[in-house]
A and B are shown apart, each in its own frame.
Chain A
Amino acid sequence: MRKLSLLLGLVLTLLMGGSLFIGTLPLDLLLQNASVLWELRFPRMLIAVSMGVSLGLTGAVLQGFLRNPLAEPGIMGISSAAALGAVMVIALGLGGSHLFAVPLAGMMGVVGVTFFLYKLMQKHPNPLTLILTGLALNSLLGALMTLILTLSHNPYASLEIIFWLLGSFAHHSLGQVAFVIPLSVAGWIILWRLRFTLETLSLGEEMAIVLGASPKKMYGFLILGMALSLGPLVSLVGVVGFIGLLVPHMLRPFVDHKPADLLLPSALGGGIMALAADMVVRLLSNHIDLKVGVLTSLMGTPFFLYLLLKQPRSSHATF
């Protein structure tokens, strides 16, 4: 696990450096406008890496926690809540009122859903309740977003909503990054501390309780960690799919299917995947208009299917 993490860390560091030199501006103009590096490319790189780390980490934690390989960060409805808040503000025409209007609205949505999930899981702390509630919330929030799109009289607002929902790391300021990343880091720390719980959960929930794990506490920390890791970033960037599902699957065989050992590699792998996808988007931008969320799904789906089909039958249930 350590070697794998070191290798992934090295790759991520190299990509982070390299991504600063990828863009549409020719080098001579870049040298005249050095602020592009600091004000556009640097925050873009930080946001891409943070989003990837959050997706990879939350994906690994959720799959281990729910002992379900289909679990992905969007399953709890937190991303949808962030998206609904943002969509509402854009549809009302308030998206342009302030740099933080959209992310703050998204975070208000996240706070609402987190509070609801937390209260619910304190009463019924079991994985099935969490999954089914997440499904119901996703369905409800998705319907509300569609309703807003339908009611919007302004076609430009609808267009902006659709583009926002596709996800993009571009055009975020350092101020926004400074606001969002500390919250996500707090979420990462909470989720990281859950790795011991994941270890015991791999022996079964009953055994975990025998070993001293408290289900209420476990779910409380899980929801809080997920909300902090994902909520602020999704509120800023939009929905980026598939990384949280794909990366843990890709890396699981390298850590002998140990959920606790998967967290760090999965976080680093997520960062690599998100940043690499964004670099591809930038490299191709002169030829084809792509959004990072579209690219991750386009590339991720076939690869995910390949991984699934390649696995021996007996290992499908191992995670």
Chain B
Amino acid sequence: MDTAVQKGHFMWARVFIFSLFLQAQASIISLDLCADQWVLELVPPRDIFAVTYLAQDPDISFFSEKAIGLKVHKGEIEELLDPAIKSAVAMDNLDPFIKNILEKRGVRIIVLKSPQTLEEVNEQRQFLIKELGLKEKDSNPFPSPPLSRKRAVCYGASGLSPGGKTLLGQALTKAGFENGFKNFKGWKYIDWEKILEADPAVVFLLEGPSKNRHHPFWKRFMKNRREVELPKKVTLCACYSTVNELIETMKKTHHA
């Protein structure tokens, strides 16, 4: 009888220790939406201590389903003081105050650069895998582009639009389009005369429905062209999966 009780206690103790072990493993926190995407893409959920509440918003987070059930935080400093947190992943605009406090508490901070090109997406991916000691997952480079003559542009309703050497510009090329704004580097404020000059067959909108659609000039301009709204969850943050999804979305338009 005693032995049976002892055995039972021993089993519960093992379960308790195992659960402690599991809890102890959940030690990685991401500090902003884009860091959430990287963490959710690469880190097993059992190792994630918390992500931001934005990670659960399906409009802006590509991995919203994966984030449901995980602990979330709002970036308040008191939420980040849990001793279980061993590593924090953030993008390069991390608040120095938070960085300082976490570092003082011995938390390892991994700062990722916001990738501006496809090459940088790969670099950041490799960097995070190495820093967190993760196993290399499927690391196929982004698909090579099919040949095409269709011209397209990405256009932000506020006017700010990506040029040739940007991630979105490169995604356009990967999806088989000729980028109508390839002549300028980085992001630029674009007026409609420049779009007219670029003469695209497809306009990818970055910011959802815009009042531009009701403007008589825009209506006439878009008559024989396609206007495609890109989901925010694939344009806001760049990680491997979001960029691949972005290219696939563009490709579908290309073949349509």
**Interface set of A (CB-CB < 8 Å, partner B):** 23-26, 29, 33, 35-36, 39-40, 93, 95-99, 101-102, 153-157, 159-160, 163-164, 168, 170-171, 173-175, 282, 285, 289
The answer for the CA separation of A171 and B193 in the assembled complex, in Å, is 10
Residue of A nearest to B213 (CB): A96
Q: Is A156 in contact with B207, judged by CB distance below 8 angstroms? A: yes
The answer for the CA separation of A23 and B190 in the assembled complex, in Å, is 12
The answer for the CA separation of A305 and B75 in the assembled complex, in Å, is 43
Chain B residues 133-187 with CB under 8 Å of chain A are: 156-160
Q: Is B191 in contact with A170, judged by CB distance below 8 angstroms? A: yes
Chain B residues 69-123 with CB under 8 Å of chain A are: none
Which residues on the A side are within 8 Å of B192 (C-beta)?
40, 170-171
Q: A96-B208, A285-B189 are in contact. Are A163 and B159 (CB under 8 A)?
A: yes
Annotate B8-27 by CB proximity to A: 1 below 8 A, 0 otherwise.
00000000000000000000
Residue pairs across A and B with Cβ atoms less than 8 A apart, 24 shown, are A24-B191, A24-B193, A24-B194, A26-B197, A29-B197, A36-B196, A36-B217, A95-B210, A96-B210, A96-B212, A97-B209, A99-B211, A99-B214, A101-B211, A155-B236, A156-B156, A156-B158, A156-B206, A156-B236, A157-B207, A159-B160, A171-B212, A285-B189, A285-B191
Query: How many B residues face the partner with a CB closer than 8 A?
Result: 32
Find the residue from A26, A35, A98, A155 having the highest chain B CB count within 10 A: A155
Task: Confirm or deny: B215 has a beta carbon within 8 angstroms of a beta carbon on chain A.
Answer: yes
Which 5 pairs between the two chains have the least Cβ-Cβ distance? A96-B209, A99-B214, A289-B189, A25-B193, A163-B158
The answer for the CA separation of A171 and B191 in the assembled complex, in Å, is 8
Find the residue from B209, B211, B213 having the highest chain A CB count within 10 A: B211
Task: Confirm or deny: B188 has a beta carbon within 8 angstroms of a beta carbon on chain A.
Answer: yes
Task: Confirm or deny: B59 has a beta carbon within 8 angstroms of a beta carbon on chain A.
Answer: yes
Which residues on the A side are within 8 Å of B236 (C-beta)?
155-156
Task: Confirm or deny: B54 has a beta carbon within 8 angstroms of a beta carbon on chain A.
Answer: yes
Distance to closest chain A CB from B167 (angstroms): 16
The answer for the CA separation of A96 and B208 in the assembled complex, in Å, is 8
The answer for the CA separation of A93 and B232 in the assembled complex, in Å, is 13
